[in-house]
Structure 1
Amino acid sequence: MIRVAIVGTGGISHAHIGAYLHFPERCRIVALVDIIPGKARRVKEQYGLDAEVFLDHHDILDRKDIDLVDVCTPPFVHAEISINCLRSGKNVVCEKPMAASLEECDAMLKARDESGKKLSIIAQNRFREPIRNLKALLDSGMAGPVRHAQINSFWFRGHSYYDLWWRGTWEKEGGGCTLNHAVHHIDMLGWMMGTPERVTSILANTAHDNAEVEDLSVSVMEYPGALATVTASVVHHGEDQELIFQCEKAKIAAPYSVFASQPQPNGFPLKEPDRAFREKADAFIASLPPVPYEMHTGQLDNVLTALETGGDVAITGEDGRRTIELITAIYKSGAERKTAALPLSREDPFYTVEGIRANVPHFYEKTVSVMEQSGDMTFGADFRQGGEKK
């Protein structure tokens, strides 16, 4: 039985709690930690958990009855809490983004290596069936090499979204929509195409004058023989999120879409697509086994399995760091108004939290700060095979 402590009992923690409760024979939540008095206790009562409640993660470090700590706090303390827990002999799952800087990511990796414990960074969209299918189709080589990737990380957040105490500042949120929303899609791009050679970006805040951070960014990433365009936004109505890969032989995408153009002798496309290619792609997708558990449930199932068997976690600290490096390159390029080359060195001012804060644009002053907000947390459009929303 794996004993779990959850640090941070805000909105995203409910997805984690629900996932653990899916496996009552394998794990048990034994501790809840939140700095806001009464918050963890309310969550305990909501789910009927037999768990102790704490105000500070330091209170659980010496506990021997905790095997796994799940960090669901705001980003600015991800590294501190994860490192402390790893050093105290506990395995760690950390919500996205991994940390506020590459320096913090490297410190987390060092603590993992020195402790011999496991570290997994949340990237739950990899456990969505359409995303798994898209990755498998790309890896099969059926469509040929990628020529262009179009990553639409489209979200909508009203003006009051940034009123929550930790949001909207470089100090506590660590960034805007690029770091905290597009992190999902940038992770998937890195998973499917790897790290680009260069990044050119523009940052803007178009609709949230109570936030220092960006609410819109547009980036071009250069790969050998290919380009990727990434739009990160919290100003898009409808939240229609897409991953579109234009390959040599066809377009393939999530939500699931396949289209193979056929050229005429003059190079112009025929009116009818290559239906044989579509049928071949459909048959390939149909041959794949179902994903047993999706989203957070899928990833946390993988973490539990790794702890039970001594195997590796599917999404590692290195995966989390790669995503932070791409996001940092976006911020560096947008702030300096020039192309950023990868990899970023330890001497780069954007390697540290202090360097990022000193160099990024502060669009507006945060003037409203509330401890809690009412309303449901929604996750945007999903990537189901037909593209329909939940």
Structure 2
Amino acid sequence: MQRIAIIGTGNISHNHIQGYLVFPDRCQIVALVDIYPEKAEEKKRHYGLTDAKIYSSHQDILTDPSIDVFDICTPPYVHAAISVDALNAGKHVLCEKPMAASLQECDAMISASESSGKTLSIIAQNRFTDAFWRLKKVLESNKIGKICHAQVDSFWWRGHSYYDLWWRGTWEKEGGGCTLNHAVHHIDAIQWMLGFPTEVVAITTNVSHDNAEVEDLSAAIFKYATGALTQLTASVVHHGEEQKIVIQGEKARISAPWDKFASIAAPNGFPIDARDTTLENQLEDSYQSVPHLTRTLHTGQIDNFLHALQTNTPPLVDGPQGKRSLELITAIYKSAITRGIVSLPINASDPYYQTGGLVKMAPHFFEKSASVENFANEEAIPLGKDMDKGA
């Protein structure tokens, strides 16, 4: 039985609490921590967590032997500090995305996990969806041949008031805009599927949220050693939030939401009207042969995390995996700010690698024009469109 402390009880904590409650025989939430204790009290009442104690600081429970896991749902700028404290105190850590505010902080978290022997996992809940899980399995079949191009549309929409929350929309507290805090899900997914690129070039802007320092729209291109390209758009200005990943191979195209298309060339190289239905049927069979996941999204990742603790095996998304996503995001920001191509990996001596480096160099598209401590609506955060349609 793993005894869980939820650190930070804002909107995203709903998804974590609901996930743990699915497994009452494997875990119990025993503590709720928030600098606004009334938010923790509300979650305790809402979910009937009668045995959970309320605290205003994670420091109050570091030495509590009755707590096994710190589940961190705070704003990003304190992810590293709390994680390192918890790991050094002998607690396992499941930390919300993004992993940290810098690659240097990621290293500190990974080091604390290694030296303490405790498990560190970073939330990447889109890996725990049928859409991405099955798409990856089809890719691994190599039926579409060499990968040529991927299109990643991380389209979200947030109203103007979204950035009124006191920590959002600032480089110091949130660490970035839509590229870091929304597209991180799709960036993690594409690097999980296609591997790590060698070069990144990008541009960022803010077109619709003049109460935020950070970007609300970015476009990036990743280049791989094979010559393949990924084209990524990150956004919180897209009505409808139509998210997708489309992967073009030499022989066929596949995508999430699931679809497939295999062209046939005429002798002159132009496509004919007929399609390679034999290959398309093989791709469909590969896709459908992958069993549906029993648990998905946060609940699926919590299941994986608890299994890792029970069996003393690595979770699917460990510290190094969490860092890889942040390294790509850091490269996007560096490229946009310097207006140049960024080679990967980023060197540890690079200012953009180090804590505070990005904050010093990042442009302020606007300054915050409003700041509220909390919103009245504290419902669970919507996690985007269902990419499993058509499965």
Structure-2 separation of matches of 1:229 and 1:258:
19
Task: Name the CA distance, whole Å, in 2 between partners of 1:258 and 1:70.
Answer: 39
Cα RMSD, aligned residues only: 0.9
Task: Tell me the CA shift for residue 23 of structure 1.
Answer: 0.5
Show the counterpart of 1:242.
244
Q: Unaligned stretches of 5+ in structure 1?
A: none
Q: CA deviation digits over 1:229-252, x for unaligned, max 9?
A: 110000001100001100111000
Partner Cα separation in structure 2 for residue 184 and residue 380 of structure 1? 10
Question: How big is the shift at 1:31?
Answer: 0.3
CA distance in 1, matches of 2:268, 2:389: 35
Matched, 1:127 2:128: yes
Match of 1:41 in 2: 41
Does the Cα contact within 8 Å between 2:31 and 2:55 map onto a contact in 1?
A: yes
Q: Matches of 2:259 and 2:376 in 1, distance apart?
A: 37
Distance across 1 between alignment mates of 2:147 and 2:11: 37
Alpha-carbon distance, 1:385 to partner: 3.5
The answer for the alignment partner of 2:332 in structure 1 is 330
Answer whether contact 2:99 2:106 (CA < 8 A) is retained.
yes
Aligned to 2:316: 314
Structure 2 residue 388 is the aligned partner of structure 1 residue 384: yes
2: CA distance between counterparts of 1:309 and 1:109?
20
* Distance in 2 separating the partners of 1:27 and 1:294: 18
Counterpart for residue 22 of structure 1: 22
Measured after TM superposition, the shift of residue 347 of structure 1 is 1.1
2:211–2:369: 8 Å Cα contact kept in structure 1? yes
| C-alpha contact 2:30 2:67 (8 A) present in aligned 1 | yes
Q: Distance in 1 between matches of 2:14 and 2:37?
A: 18
Q: CA deviation at 1:284?
A: 1.2
Identity %: 55
Q: Partner of 1:230: helix, strand, or coil?
A: strand
- Find the counterpart in structure 2 of residue 117 from structure 1: 118
Residue 149 of structure 1 is matched in structure 2 by 150
Q: Which amino acid aligns with 1:303?
A: F
Q: TM-score if structure 1 supplies the norm length?
A: 0.98
Q: Secondary structure, in 3 states, of the residue corresponding to 2:37?
A: coil
Tell me the SS of whatever aligns to 1:350: coil
Q: Secondary structure at the match of 1:323?
A: helix
Q: How does 1:77-96 map to 2 (within 5 A)?
A: 77-96=78-97
**1:33-72 CA distances to partner (integer Å, 9 max, x unpaired)?**
0001311011001100020000000011000011111000
What is the SS of the residue equivalent to 2:274? Answer: coil
Cα distance in 1 between the residues matched to 2:154 and 2:185: 8
1:275 and 2:274 are equivalent in the alignment: no
**Aligned residue identity for 2:220:** S
SS in 2 for 1:265: coil
Equivalent positions of 1:222-237 (< 5 A) are: 222-224=223-225, 225-237=227-239
Q: Structure 2 CA distance, aligned partners of 1:152 and 1:118?
A: 32
Q: Which residue in 2 is equivalent to 1:6? A: 6
How far apart are residue 84 of structure 1 and its match?
A: 0.3
Residues 102 and 356, structure 2, Cα contact 8 Å, conserved in 1: no
SS at 2:118's partner residue?
Answer: coil
Aligned residue for 2:153, secondary structure, equals strand
- Partner residue, 1:217: 218
Shift, 1:295, TM fit: 0.4
**Counterpart of 1:351?**
353
**Tell me, which stretches of 5 or more residues in structure 2 are unaligned?**
none
Equivalent residues of 2:131, 2:388 under 8 A apart = yes
**Aligned letter for 1:39?**
K
CA distance in 2, matches of 1:358, 1:55: 30
Q: Which moved more, 1:351-360 or 1:256-265?
A: 351-360
Task: Name the SS for the 1:285 alignment partner.
Answer: helix
SS in 2 for 1:382: coil
Report which stretch shifted further, 102-111 or 279-288: 279-288
Q: How much has 1:382 moved relative to structure 2? A: 2.0
Q: What is the aligned length?
A: 387
Q: CA deviation at 1:17?
A: 0.4
Q: Give, in angstroms, the shift of residue 331 of structure 1.
A: 0.2
Give the secondary structure class of the aligned counterpart of 1:349. Answer: coil
Alpha-carbon distance between aligned partners in 2 of 1:292 and 1:380, rounded to the nearest angstrom:
20
Aligned-partner Cα distance in 1 for 2:104–2:357:
11
Query: Structure 2: how far apart are the matches of 1:352 and 1:370?
Result: 30
Q: CA contact under 8 A between 2:200 and 2:343: conserved in structure 1?
A: yes
Q: 8 Å contact 2:97–2:181 — kept in the other structure?
A: yes
Taking the aligned partners of 2:346 and 2:283, their CA distance within structure 1 comes to 38
For residues 94 and 9 of structure 1, the distance between their equivalents in structure 2, rounded to whole angstroms, comes to 13
For residues 312 and 18 of structure 2, the distance between their equivalents in structure 1, rounded to whole angstroms, comes to: 24
| SS across alignment from 2:105 | helix
Alignment of 1:293-304 (within 5 A): 293-304=295-306
TM-score normalised by length of structure 2: 0.98
Output the CA distance in 2 between the equivalents of 1:144 and 1:328. 30
**Contact persistence 2:37–2:54 (CA under 8 A):** no
Shift of 1:379: 1.9
Question: Does 344-353 or 328-337 show the bigger shift?
Answer: 344-353
Distance across 2 between alignment mates of 1:300 and 1:211: 32
Equivalent AA in structure 1 for residue 326 of structure 2 = I
The amino acid across from 2:365 in the alignment is F
CA deviations on 1:334-363 (whole Å, 9 max, x unpaired) are: 000111111101111101232111111111
Q: CA deviation at 1:195?
A: 1.2
Local SS of the residue matching 2:352: helix
Q: Deviations over 1:280-312 (max 9, x none)?
A: 111112221221100011110011111111111
Three-state SS of the structure 2 residue aligned to 1:150 is strand
